[in-house]
Amino acid sequence: MPVVDVDPDELRRLTGHEEKDDDELKEDLFALGLEYEGETEAGEMQLEFGPDRLDRLSVEGVARSLRYQYGDDRGVYVPDTNDADWTIAVDESVPDERPYVTGAVVRGVDLDDDALDSLIQLQEKLHATMGRKRAKGAIGIHDLTMLKGEVPGGEGGPTITYRGVAPDGDRFVPLDADAEMTPADVLEDHPTGRTYASLVEEYDRYPAIYDEIGLFSFPPVINGRRTEVSTGSRELFVELTGTDQWTIDRMCNIVCYALDARGATIERVDVDYPDGTLSRPDFDVEEKTVDHAQIERMLGVDLDPETAVDLFERSGLDAESEASETPRKDGEAVDDAPAYEVSIPPYRVDVLHPYDLVDDVGRAYGFNELDPRYPDVATVGGRHDRSKLEDAARRSLVGLGFEDLLNFHMISEEENYDRMRVEPGTDAVGGGDPVTITEPYSEDYTMLRTWALPSLMMVLENNTHRAYPQDLAEIGLAAERDDDENTRVAEHRTVAAVLARHDATYEDAKARLAALCADFDADLRTPRTDHPAFIGGRVAEVVVDGDAVGVVGELHPEVLVEHDLELPVAAFELRLDALK
Amino acid sequence: MQLPESQVAVLNAASATEEQTIERLAEVTDLEPETVTGAVFDLRDDGLLAVEERVEETVELTEEGELYADDALPELRLYDAAVELGADEAAVPMGQVVGASGLEGPRVDIALSNFARKGYGSIDDGEVVADADADPEADAEARALEAIAAGDDVDVEPATLDRLESRGLVVRDEHTVRSVTLTDAGVTALMEGVEVAETVDRLTPELLTSGEWRDVEFTEYNVEADAPEIRGGRTHILRQTADRVKDVLVGMGFEEMEGPHADAEFWINDCLFMPQDHPARTHWDQFALDVPPMEDIPDELLERVADAHRNGVGADGDGYRSPWTEEVAREIDLRGHTTSLSMRYLSGFAQGELDPPQRFFSVEKVYRNDTLDPTHLLEFFQIEGWVMAEDLSVRDLMGTFEEFYNQFGITDLQFKPHYNPYTEPSFELFGHHPETGELIEIGNSGMFREEVLRPLGVDCDVMAWGLALERLLMLIYGFEDIRDVHGTLCDLELLRETEVLH
pLDDT digits 0-9 by tens, A103-156: 999 999 998 898 899 999 999 999 999 999 999 999 999 999 999 988 777 677
Q: Which chain B residue's Cα is nearest to A457?
A: B488
**pLDDT by residue (tens digit) across B195-227?**
887 778 888 888 899 988 887 878 778 888 888
Say if the Cβ atoms of A466 and B449 lie within 8 Å.
no
pLDDT score for A542 = 98
Look up the CATH number of the domain holding residue B34.
1.10.10.10
| Residue at B299 is within a domain | yes
| Residues above pLDDT 90, as percent of chain A | 89
pLDDT score for A335 = 53
| Enclosing domain of residue B116 | 63-168
Give the integer Cα–Cα distance in Å for A281 and A258: 13
Q: CATH class for domain A286-326+336-369?
A: alpha beta
Of A288, A297, A384, the CB nearest to B256: A384
pLDDT score for B282 = 78
Three-state secondary-structure class, residue A410: strand
Give the integer Cα–Cα distance in Å for A548 and A542: 6
Mark residue A545 as left, alpha or beta (left: phi above 0; alpha: psi -120 to 50; beta: remaining).
left
What band does B471 get if pLDDT is binned at 50, 70 and 90? confident
DSSP for residue A371: P
Average pLDDT of the residues in A452-463 = 97
Say if the Cβ atoms of A489 and B332 lie within 8 Å.
yes
Chain A touched by B433 (CB under 8 Å): no
Q: Do domains A3-70 and A286-326+336-369 have the same CATH topology?
A: yes
Which residue, among B247, B401, B418, B488, would best test binding to A if mutated, counting the most A CBs under 10 Å from its CB? B488
- The residue among A537, A532, A540 whose CA lies nearest residue A511 is A540
- Judging contacts by C-beta atoms under 8 Å, the chain B residues touching residue A134 are none
The answer on B200 and B276 residing in a single domain is: no
The answer on B395 and B269 residing in a single domain is: yes
Domain at A3-70: CATH code:
3.30.56.10
What band does B243 get if pLDDT is binned at 50, 70 and 90? very high
Give the integer Cα–Cα distance in Å for B204 and A412: 57
Question: Cβ(B164)–Cβ(B64) under 8 Å?
Answer: no
The answer on B391 and B338 residing in a single domain is: yes
Residue B500 pLDDT > 90, yes or no? no
Instruction: Point out the domain boundary residue: B168, B198, B230.
Output: B168
Average pLDDT of the residues in A69-75 = 93
Look up the CATH number of the domain holding residue B163.
1.10.10
Chain A from 249 to 268: CB within 8 A of any B CB:
none
Q: How far is CA B125 from the centre of its chain?
A: 55
The answer on B126 and B48 residing in a single domain is: no
The answer on B440 and B312 residing in a single domain is: yes
Give the integer Cα–Cα distance in Å for A42 and A10: 13
Q: Where are the alpha helices (DSSP H) in A156-286?
A: 183-189, 191-200, 245-261
Q: How many domains does chain B have?
A: 3
For A532, other C-beta atoms within 10 Å of its C-beta total: 18
Question: Cβ(B199)–Cβ(B6) under 8 Å?
Answer: no
Give the integer Cα–Cα distance in Å for B338 and B345: 11
| Residue at B225 is within a domain | no
Angle between helices A305-313 and A292-299 (to 10 degrees): 80
Give the integer Cα–Cα distance in Å for B30 and B24: 10
Give the integer Cα–Cα distance in Å for B296 and A173: 54
pLDDT score for A332 = 53
- Judging contacts by C-beta atoms under 8 Å, the chain A residues touching residue B290 are 435-438
The answer on B417 and B299 residing in a single domain is: yes
Task: Locate the domains of chain A by residue range.
Answer: 3-70, 81-280, 286-326+336-369, 385-579
Residue B64 pLDDT > 90, yes or no? no
What DSSP string describes B102-125? T--THHHHHHHHHHHHTTSEEEET
Residue A578 pLDDT > 90, yes or no? yes
**pLDDT by residue (tens digit) across A156-165?**
789 999 999 9
Which residue, among B369, B492, B500, would best test binding to A if mutated, counting the most A CBs under 10 Å from its CB? B492
Question: Cβ(B264)–Cβ(B331) under 8 Å?
Answer: yes
pLDDT score for A123 = 96
Say if the Cβ atoms of B396 and A373 lie within 8 Å.
yes
CA of B182 to nearest chain A CA: how many angstroms apart?
A: 45
Average pLDDT of the residues in B1-17 = 86
| Residue at B274 is within a domain | yes
Q: Which chain A residue's Cα is nearest to B462?
A: A298
Q: Which CATH number fits domain A385-579: 3.30.930.10, 3.40.50.920, 3.30.1360.150, 3.40.50.1000?
A: 3.30.930.10
What band does A412 get if pLDDT is binned at 50, 70 and 90? very high
Chain B touched by A312 (CB under 8 Å): no
Number of helices followed by number of strands (H, E) in chain A: 15, 27
Q: Which chain A residue's Cα is nearest to B485?
A: A406
Question: Cβ(A476)–Cβ(A454) under 8 Å?
Answer: no
| Residue at B437 is within a domain | yes
Burial of B387 (0-12, 13-18, 19+ CB in 10 A): buried
Residue A298 pLDDT > 90, yes or no? yes
Say if the Cβ atoms of A488 and B262 lie within 8 Å.
yes
The answer on B316 and B278 residing in a single domain is: yes
Tell me the CATH architecture of domain A81-280: 3-Layer(bba) Sandwich (3.50)
Which residue, among A488, A491, A563, would best test binding to B if mutated, counting the most B CBs under 10 Å from its CB? A488
